[in-house]
Every structure is written in C-alpha cells, then in structure tokens.
Amino acid sequence: CHGFDSGYDITKKEGVESLLSEIENLFGLERLKMIHLNDSKYPLGAAKDRHERIGSGFIGEAGFAVFFSFKEVQRIPWILETPGGNEEHAEDIKKVFEIIEKYRIEVD
C-alpha cells in the first residue's frame, strides 16, 4: 500500500519493477526486511496511507497477483496490516493464499 500510495503502480509488472529498482538503487533490496501487506482505500498516488482489506481496495486481487509474482517480493516477510480483528485478519491471510492459487503464482 505504501508504494502504491506513493505512485508506484504495483498492479502492473512495470510498476513493481520500478519500485524494486528504486529500492535497490537507494539502499539495496537485501536491506529491505519486511513488507507491510494491505490494500489501499484510495487510488494510486493519493498520498493517503489508509489501509483496506486484501483484495477490497484499489490494488485488488489482480494487482496483488502481479505483486506476489515477483521472487524479490516473495523472499521478504510480509506483515499483515489490514483493518479488523483476528477474524478479519484470518480471512485476509486466507485471501492471500487464494490469490496465489487462483493466479497460479509459483512460490519459492
């Protein structure tokens, strides 16, 4: 969400590549220790960090499928940062696995 909120269109391959390239150039991907995982309540580049449940915001399921398909993203731990309590968080975790299966994403 933070990258999306900042204008990186992680719903498209080119957007993820651009974000990863910038991270690499600024401080190196090896120094990126985790990813906050949440959808966005606002559209691309809105500069409003408002979290939404996985697949329910402007990134959406197809957008997450693109993001999840990158090996660089898969190698970094994800920290769920969605609204709600334990039940909603369990549903969001399930949704992540559903997206991976639905879009046949190969995971290392």
SS3 93: helix
* Residue 81 annotated as binding site: yes
Q: Which residues of the chain have pLDDT under 50?
A: none
Q: Is 39 annotated as a binding residue?
A: no
9 annotated ligand-binding residue: no
Sorted by where each starts, the structural domains of the chain and their CATH numbers stand as 2-102 (3.20.20.150)
pLDDT score of 2: 86
Q: What is the DSSP string of 13-59?
A: HHHHHHHHHHHHHHT-GGG---EEE-EESS-TT-----EE-TTSSSS
On whether 2 is known to bind a ligand per the annotation, the reply is yes
Predicted local confidence at residue 52, as pLDDT: 98
pTM over 0.85: yes
89 annotated ligand-binding residue: no
